[in-house]
Structure 1
Amino acid sequence: MSANVWLLYLVTVFFMSATPGPNMLLAMTHGMRYGRRRTMVTCAGLMTGIMVVMLASMLGLGALLAASEALFSAVKYAGAAYLVYLGLKLWRARSDSAATGDETVPALVTDQSPFRLFRTGFLVSLSNPKAFLFFTALFPQFFDKQAAEGPQLAILIATFMVIECMWQMIYVTGGQGAARYLGTPSRTRMVNRVSGSIFIGLALWLTTAQRA
């Protein structure tokens, strides 16, 4: 892969990953509620889900979703239902605060195990069937047909993962910083409901997604 092609891909991914979406919203809200250390587990789930999406797209699942309206709709509505579930969970979240060391972090629930945090991140990454179509269309545009595809695909995936991880860390840090200003129950409740409404809005938007 030439340096010019890679730099073009790098710029494309940089701005695309920066765009707020379910993954970044989850990273931010978990950063607010659980602090950066625990949210690393959520981010690990998000990154694992993204890796699965990319590999599945290259193995043909993206093309299968593009060809099957029934399968695309099934994945779409399942993803939307999960985002609504997360949104309602935020609406019903506790409005008090939980002390974590020397900082106060608004608490979503008190029994979020690392497995649950990881699972939430993983499922959010898989919630949008358009992501499968996106990677199916994106990667071939940067392939050099005269060179082996394996090493090129490895470069594209590694670059995407590094950029995505960087932006997730920015959103997590921003959420953790915002948590310091949310010490009152009323402010915490407001953020919970705004974040929950955004998740529900994203779910409604997802139901309008088309294969084309």
Structure 2
Amino acid sequence: MALHTLWIYAVAVFLLSATPGPNMLHVLSRSVELGVKRTLATMAGCLLGLVTLLAASAVGLGALLHALPGTFTALRIAGAGYLLFLAVKAWRAPVSEDDDVAQTVRPAISGLALFRGGYAIAISNPKAIVFAAAFLPQFIDPARPQASQFAILVAVFAVIEAFWYAVYAFSGRALSRHLGRAGVKRVFNRLTGGLFAGFGLSLLAFRAA
């Protein structure tokens, strides 16, 4: 793989990863709810889920999903169902009022649970496998060993994605300072729920080419 090809790939991934999606929204909402430090486990789970999908596309799972459309449909419906579950959960998130100041109910959540939640939301998007199966090979030099090139592409994707997770996490911390009132916090929860619902419905509407 030529160096200029890798740079083009990195710029493309940087712009793609900046686009808000379920992972970024989950990191943002967790940061608002729990703070940046506790959100690290969520970020790690999302990142591992993403790497799992990219690795799956590298070993040909994307082609397999094309060959078995029923399997893709089942995964798509399951992923959409999980996103819609998160939408309902966010929409109905409890907010208490104390002198017009919202005190968000924060249940005790272990780091492992946060990690699992992040991994689940990342892995629940099977269309990412189809996307990666079409996107990554464009930057592969067929005259060179492909396994090492795929490893480099996945590693670069993971580093850039982690950077954007950090950006969204710190944005969530800054945003939390403006969510002191119960009404504002409730609007944020419902906006988050609406976005998760939108992602879920878009996944239901997605069809592998």
Q: TM-score range by the shorter chain?
A: over 0.9
1:89·1:196 contact (CA, 8 Å) conserved in 2?
yes
Structure 1 residue 15, shift from structure 2 partner: 0.4
> Match of 1:142, as an amino acid?
F
Q: What is the aligned residue count? A: 206
User: Does residue 174 of the first structure (1) align with residue 171 of the second (2)?
Assistant: yes
CA–CA distance in 1 between the matches of 2:95 and 2:82?
22
Where structure 1 has 5 or more consecutive residues not aligned to the other structure, the ranges are: 98-103
CA–CA distance in 2 between the matches of 1:36 and 1:105?
19
CA–CA distance in 1 between the matches of 2:141 and 2:60?
19
Deviations 1:145-190 (A, max 9, x none): 1111122112111110010000111011101100011111111111
2:17·2:161 contact (CA, 8 Å) conserved in 1?
yes
Where structure 2 has 5 or more consecutive residues not aligned to the other structure, the ranges are: none
Aligned CA RMSD, in angstroms, stands at 1.6
**Secondary structure, counterpart of 2:109 in structure 1:** coil
Match of 1:80 in 2: 80
**Secondary structure, counterpart of 1:110 in structure 2:** coil
Structure 1 residue 111, shift from structure 2 partner: 2.5
User: Does residue 61 of the first structure (1) align with residue 61 of the second (2)?
Assistant: yes
**Secondary structure, counterpart of 1:77 in structure 2:** helix
Could you tell me the TM-score, scaled by structure 1's length?
0.93
Aligned pair partner of 1:158 in 144, 155, 158:
155
Percent of pairs with identical residues:
40
1:34·1:105 contact (CA, 8 Å) conserved in 2?
no
Deviations 1:103-149 (A, max 9, x none): x9964641222122111110111111110011111111111111111
Match of 2:71 in 1: 71
Aligned pair partner of 1:185 in 182, 188, 194:
182
Within 5 Å, give how 1:1-212 maps onto structure 2.
1-96=1-96, 107=104, 109-212=106-209
**Secondary structure, counterpart of 1:182 in structure 2:** coil
**Secondary structure, counterpart of 2:95 in structure 1:** coil
**Secondary structure, counterpart of 1:115 in structure 2:** helix
1:90·1:193 contact (CA, 8 Å) conserved in 2?
yes
**Secondary structure, counterpart of 2:179 in structure 1:** coil
1:34·1:107 contact (CA, 8 Å) conserved in 2?
no
2:102·2:182 contact (CA, 8 Å) conserved in 1?
no
